Structure 1
Amino acid sequence: MRQSSSAFLRIARHLNYRRTFLARDCTRVDIPSLPFEAFDSSGTKINPWSILTLVESVRSFSFSQYATVGQPRRSTLDFHEILDTHLIFIVGATVDIKRPCHDFEGPKFPLYVIEKLKYLGKSSKTLSYEIYDCSTDTLQVSCDLTDVLVSGVSRKPVAYPAWWLQKHGDLITPEKAKLSEDPIPTGQPAVSEVKVKSGDIDTFQHTNWASYLKFCYESLTEHATDNSYEQMNIQRLTAGVKSCKLIYKDETNFGDNLTVKSWNSDSQETRVIFNVLKDKKLCMYCDIDFY
């Protein structure tokens, strides 16, 4: 457990980021640019899973105690101390990609991200991430990420420790509405098979939360190309992703064989709904909306 948590934080040492603590529950992280591989094959749009990877890198940087020279033993809400004895597992995410993000002529570097606590419960929290370009302060992407605190021994959800609640418990907010799944549409799904590879896993040796979105999007591209959906086709995909919702049900690991099922939404022709299954058991729900 310590090895996987420290690996997540250790990556922060190699990121050319800069952070500013605006408040104990709000951090600004400045980023030089998106990596080359973040862009799609057309060179005009950002792969949606690359946005999740960017958010994860910001989390690593803000949670690390050594990311900022001259400010050791400090992190957003002291999460570096939480990760000494616990794990943090992501259970859900929503992503809204604004139109300027799809504008080829619009600035894409440098960027800054505002990470802010949006909800805090006894064992879970939601952090919001807003990505802006520095030159115009235009909001490019907003992402809400919900995670749960997990025991490093039992790997079961646990409450935040007493010392942490004594320090930050005043930030606890009323219970928020949980993310909900759309009903499964009528009709037969489009089906793809995928095997989890080494590049798909995270530092906890599970399938990375961003990899699931990649599985879904690549399956969508495959079936939109061969006109498997009633409304969604490859031309619609070029308009760009507007939003995504991801709900994680169960973990999968390196070498697992997964089934990706997808349907065009019955109520919204620009939405596709996904179920990712392992041995017929639902591991992850996702929906993707397009402009």
Structure 2
Amino acid sequence: MDGSNSVEKRNNVKATHYRSKLFEPFDHLEKLGYRLRLLDNESVAVVHVPGFAVDAFDVYGNCHAWGIVKMIGRAVDFAHCFALDSSSERFFLDYAILFDELFTFMASSSIEFDKSLYNPLVSKWPLNINVHLGYVGTSSINFVSNIVEPSSGEILVRNVNQLVAIDKETRKPTPLPSWWKKKHGDKAVRKEPLIVQKLSKPDDAHTYTFRVSWSEIDLYNHVNWTSYVLYSINALHHGIKEGVLRGINKEVVKNGVQRMQMAYFGECVEGDQLTVYFWEVEDQPRTVYFDMERDGRTVFQNTLTYHKKE
């Protein structure tokens, strides 16, 4: 491995236990041109991705917010599960080993979309996604991921995801092992967890109802955390079509999403019926709030704000 710890492509090599178990679902990413290199004493993962696909853009020529989130999710999976060499069980931050016996549950997510993301003159092919360890708590961690335009170094998207370690048998939060915290805890770039306050749904919130489809399910056979972004925006456009939103219309949407603050409270599976409640607040321009319920219980909330027209 060279000074920048570049990971070279390996062919016809027997996979390790962890690679075969965890990386196999993402093996196609390597074939599509995803590459991984580590920097700063292996504390930063840089995932090189080819860029956005043709269907990643909406009718206004802007990148779909859910497509961006999916790209981040896949890049983080790639960084965590790609073995660093062919003969050992080394992974970025030992993540694959850490969670071989654990599940993770997405607790909250914050995403900021820079205005330049929607500039057609800014190249979207290829891109780098830099992944850092953010915060380490007792049973939770977060990761900071930035989408970067390689030639300029400009950050197009900033993301923080808060994860909770879950025991596979009890399905309850469990402490992170002390060996891992001792080995990697000092690599964290944040000093606090990402806490998204729970929203209070008003009585006059608008509604949008649908059923979960198979295409929105992840490896755990639950709705993928990125799918809730799609649900939010579908509900928002339903509100625009019905004319029930005052501060959001097609002209505002053309400016692109500026930020999202999301919180996850439960899980959903294929066939579940979800009701999305959405509303505006008078002194919060270009912003819509969402509360998604299954069987009367909140499973997800989102605060979504669009950019102001320049």
TM-score of the superposed pair, with normalisation by structure 1: 0.90
1:209 aligned counterpart, secondary structure? coil
The answer for the alignment partner of 1:56 in structure 2 is: 73
The answer for the alignment partner of 2:10 in structure 1 is: none
Query: Structure 2 unaligned runs (5+)?
Result: 1-18
Moved more, 187-196 or 121-130: 187-196
- Superposition pairs of residues 133-172 of structure 1, within 5 angstroms: 133-170=149-186
Contact 2:108-2:194 at 8 Å conserved across structures: no
How far is 1:60 from its partner?
A: 1.2
- Superposition pairs of residues 104-183 of structure 1, within 5 angstroms: 104-170=120-186, 175-176=192-193, 178-183=195-200
Residue identity matched to 2:122: G
The answer for the alignment partner of 2:7 in structure 1 is: none
Q: What is the rounded CA distance, in whole Å, between the counterparts of 1:8 and 1:84 in structure 2?
A: 8
2:220 equivalent to 1:204: yes
2:51 equivalent to 1:33: yes
How far is 1:70 from its partner?
A: 4.6
The answer for the alignment partner of 1:282 in structure 2 is: 298
The answer for the alignment partner of 1:85 in structure 2 is: 101
Contact 1:195-1:256 at 8 Å conserved across structures: yes
Q: 1:155 to 1:36 in 2, by over 3 A?
A: farther
How far is 1:166 from its partner?
A: 3.9
2:270 equivalent to 1:254: yes
Contact 1:109-1:134 at 8 Å conserved across structures: no
- Residues 201-227 of structure 1 deviation map (CA, whole Å, 9 limit, x = unaligned): 111111111111101101101111221
Contact 1:64-1:74 at 8 Å conserved across structures: no
The answer for the alignment partner of 1:193 in structure 2 is: 209
Contact 1:8-1:203 at 8 Å conserved across structures: no
2:26 equivalent to 1:18: no
How far is 1:266 from its partner?
A: 2.7
Q: What is the rounded CA distance, in whole Å, between the counterparts of 2:20 and 2:303 in structure 1?
A: 32
Query: Structure 1 unaligned runs (5+)?
Result: none
How far is 1:125 from its partner?
A: 0.9
Contact 1:95-1:244 at 8 Å conserved across structures: yes
- Residues 145-174 of structure 1 deviation map (CA, whole Å, 9 limit, x = unaligned): 110111121221101123323423445775
% same residue: 23
Q: What is the rounded CA distance, in whole Å, between the counterparts of 2:218 and 2:293 in structure 1?
A: 19
Moved more, 149-158 or 172-181: 172-181
Residue identity matched to 1:95: I
- Residues 189-248 of structure 1 deviation map (CA, whole Å, 9 limit, x = unaligned): 221111111111111111111111101101101111221112222221111100011100
How far is 1:25 from its partner?
A: 3.0
Residue identity matched to 1:48: A
- Residues 103-137 of structure 1 deviation map (CA, whole Å, 9 limit, x = unaligned): 12221111001111121111111111111111222
Q: How many residues align?
A: 284
- Residues 7-35 of structure 1 deviation map (CA, whole Å, 9 limit, x = unaligned): 76323321121111113432111111112
Moved more, 262-271 or 16-25: 16-25
How far is 1:90 from its partner?
A: 1.0
TM-score of the superposed pair, with normalisation by structure 2: 0.85
Q: What is the rounded CA distance, in whole Å, between the counterparts of 2:20 and 2:56 in structure 1?
A: 25
1:259 aligned counterpart, secondary structure? strand
Q: 1:128 to 1:175 in 2, by over 3 A?
A: closer
Contact 2:112-2:157 at 8 Å conserved across structures: yes
The answer for the alignment partner of 2:114 in structure 1 is: 98
